[in-house]
Amino acid sequence: MSDPARLFAAVTPSPKVVSALREELDRHLLERGPLRWVETPQWHITLGFYGKDDPDGRVSWLRPRLAGLSAPTVRLVGAGSFSGVLWIGVREHGLTEVAEEIRPEGQTRPFHPHLTLARGRASGAIDAIERWRRRLAEFESPEWTAAEVVLFRSDRVEDGRRAGPRYSVVERFPLDAPG
């Protein structure tokens, strides 16, 4: 048994989608405001959060649940916010079904797929989030097939420049071609 770690399962956007979203954000580069932006390599759509858990045990739990599932098609669309978080919305076909298969035990909250872009609670952050939500309201990425689910480990890092979570891959689970 390995040491417990904060774990979550997610899909990650394709390079083409990352490029399209990065380009849209960079159009407003000078207007970042008082928000803490999620670094591009950390972008993901969470399917299930497992909290502190044994990585080996979670891999064994996920493997049979994901085996044979069809890869969903996904597109990032629009923007929204909640509790000091700016996010991009998701239009999907099949992603909810994958998330339901790997729903954490006891989880009752509805699945609300999104990609978190920034967080902020400091003075002015809520206004900045609202401005960004309006700027990104019409955004629509290319569609992609999420060919794998990734189990990530989240570790808190303080490196002098900034503090926050850093994600590392525990295991990748390929999904079948779309049905």
Assign 115 a pLDDT band (cuts: 50, 70, 90). Answer: very high
Diameter of the chain by CA atoms? 48
- Is 133 among the domain residues? yes
> Among candidates 85, 114, 88, 90, which has minimal Cα distance to 22?
88
CATH number of the domain to which 72 belongs: 3.90.1140.10
Average pLDDT score over residue span 63-78? 97
Element (H, E) at 90: strand 85-93
Predicted TM-score (pTM) of the model is 0.91
Determine the pLDDT at residue 78. Answer: 97
- Percent with pLDDT over 70 in the chain: 92
- Is 179 among the domain residues? no
- Is 118 among the domain residues? yes
Number of domains within the chain: 1
What range does the domain containing 95 cover? 5-174
Average pLDDT score over residue span 76-94? 95
Residue with tokens 């000078």, as numbered in its chain: 30
Assign 28 a pLDDT band (cuts: 50, 70, 90). Answer: confident
Determine the pLDDT at residue 108. Answer: 87
- Is 50 among the domain residues? yes
pLDDT reading at 84 higher than 70: yes
- Is 27 among the domain residues? yes
* Cβ atoms 164, 6 nearer than 8 A: no
- Is 80 among the domain residues? yes
